[in-house]
A and B are shown apart, each in its own frame.
Chain A
Amino acid sequence: MSFPWANQYQPKHPVMKWVDDRLPLPRFVYNAVGAGYPVPRNLNYFWNFGVLAGAALAIQIVTGIVLAMHYAANAGVAFNSVEHIMRDVNAGWFIRYAHMNGASMFFIVVYLHIFRGLYYGSYKAPREMVWLLGVVIFLLMMATAFMGYVLPWGQMSFWGAQVITGFFSAIPGVGEPMRQWLLGGFAPDNAALNRFFSLHYLLPFVILGVVILHIWALHIPGSSNPTGIEVKDEQDTVPFHPYYTAKDGVGLGVFLMIFAVLTFFTPNLLGHADNYIQANPLSTPAHIVPEWYFWPFYAILRAFTFNFLWIDAKLWGVIAMFAAIALLFFLPWLDGSPVKSSTYRPLNKIFFWILLFDIGLLGVCGMMPAEQPWVIFSQIGAIYYFAHFLIILPIISRIERPLPMPGSITEAVLAKHADKSSATA
């Protein structure tokens, strides 16, 4: 679907016309990310992050396929094969560092993309399905990154796998058999490494498939925008190409610059030195930390240090960690406000920033060892995280009085423009 005033694809070259008559793929692309997709005229730079996430996925797939040409998924040689990539393979160090830091860049842009959605209420009707598919992508990314991190078979790889699969043994009764089924053994070993490699290769393509559904669902109502007011007529939109291809191009340039600085100047900044020690099943590193993008969730996992009701601490931690993400599936219905953008939601705006601070605090707790004061901070942080979504948001979204809103996107843009010109006059 699209707006009635969308540009129509008109193949100029006879070859393109011939193709279009038989397989309308060029038309499909034109309507999806070309001049045939009308987009609100007022998008800000926070709307770049979807395209940037797509770019990051493409970078991971390309560098990953190349790495797989040199990597050997066998517990005896995996660690050495990664060293072989680093030292012997032509430009191998570059490809591996690009893949490592590409994963971090991917999570940075996806987190910003999610926070954009939270602030501007992009998850609300009629875009709930876009949001739900987004949460699915986020889960798949976490699974992919976790399994990728196991592949170099360093100490953090091994102990990360041990601890994460250890969650499953918390499930009463079926937990331990399930863990053995996941690992294909009693501890992470060759069987686990092989299947993780197989799935690490597969999942990015599953992500690609879900991304396509995500964009398909988005293109039914079209993109939202910083005012949260839906498009009313042609004045409110501009064609995606050239307007947003250009704007996304600027963002892509900045993204690539940051990516290059990380990859070339501080390639191990976000990594952990222990992962350059080969996996040793008999010795746990003093301090096991996951990659930075898991820190907030890791903090929630560790926040339960006491048994509560009839469920023990370990199972609570696991439940809380999964619930922290599963909660996002219900967000479109927990938020009862008809107004999307926090620009017009004075209360929600405040609590959005508190939530962001809370997630940052949980992140720091996840990085630190499980000692005081971090344990108590992660407990407070975890309670607040759940309280935000389950208590604060449902209440404030139903009692707050939104600020007066402009009648349309165009009106909002013109008012802003008038403000600026009167200020300079």
Chain B
Amino acid sequence: MASESELKAGVEDGVRRRDFINIAAVSFAGVGAGAVVLPLINQMNPSADVLALSSTEIDISQIQTGQAIKTTWRKQPVFIRNLTSAEIDEANKVPLSDLRQPQTLAERTKPGKENWLVTLGVCTHLGCVPLGAAEGENRGDFGGYFCPCHGSHYDTAARIRKGPAPTNLVVPPYEFSSDTVVMIG
């Protein structure tokens, strides 16, 4: 048992041995709790099989100039559009300063394949599928895509021009495996 003077000395030091034990025990328990909570949170992230769907090959040989198709990648719609030269010109004419997210058509396509516009078909506002990929659908005020949900208009390079969407339609990572096959993801 510590004498009174020893106790007093300990307290005057500022830290008691008991404080050290308390802090060590609580920190250890805290680390343990964290180690248990982490997997409980992480289980909600996309699982391995969902992530495994992350590359898709698409044959584009049947898409005529001016046409587009809808396909899927990671369960999300993807638009592949074969732009006409008029549409390409229109996209290149727009001064970058007019754009909410300034990007040229060239930056959004592959070199030498400027007519192939590959984007997610997911409106960057709240995620509806914009119209304009299928024949006869409303393409909006700028001839690209039109999202009916809250009225976002995209131009022929699928860049946001009008409406609530903050950014251009996303260009997914993709490569041309050959002249007629695109590999997304």
Contacts and interface: CB of A to CB of B under 8 A. Distances in A.
Contacts of A371: 151
Interface stretch (B5-13, B40-48, B88-96, B106-114): B40-48
A119 B125 CA distance: 37
A21 interface: no
Interface stretch (A64-72, A88-96, A312-320): A312-320
Interface string A52-65: 00000000000000
Interface in B131-185: 148-151, 163-166
B50 A314 contact: no
Contact of B45 (A181, A187, A282, A315): A181
B74 interface: yes
Contact of B126 (A162, A180, A305, A307): A162
Contacts of B122: 187
A313 B164 contact: yes
Contact of B163 (A167, A169, A305): A305
Interface in A164-184: 165-167, 169-170, 180-182, 184
Contact of B127 (A163, A189, A315): A163
Interface in B35-64: 44-47, 50
Nearest to B127: A166
Interface string B69-98: 010101111000000000000000000000
B126 A167 contact: yes
A166 B45 contact: no
Q: How large is the interface on A (under 10, 10 to 19, 20 to 34, 35 or more residues)?
A: 35 or more
B72 A191 contact: no
A284 B44 contact: no
A15 interface: no
A417 interface: no
A159 B165 contact: no
Interface string A365-376: 000001100000
B128 interface: yes
Interface in A273-289: 281-284, 286-288
B117 interface: no
Nearest to A375: B151
A333 to B, nearest CB: 33
A304 B165 CA distance: 11
B129 interface: yes
A350 to B, nearest CB: 34
Contacts of A360: none
14 contacts: A180-B46, A181-B45, A184-B44, A185-B75, A189-B75, A191-B46, A281-B75, A281-B76, A282-B70, A282-B72, A288-B128, A305-B163, A313-B164, A317-B164
Interface of B: 44-47, 50, 70, 72, 74-77, 121-122, 125-129, 148-151, 163-166
Q: 6 shortest A-B CB distances, which residue pairs?
A: A166-B126, A166-B127, A284-B128, A312-B166, A163-B126, A186-B74
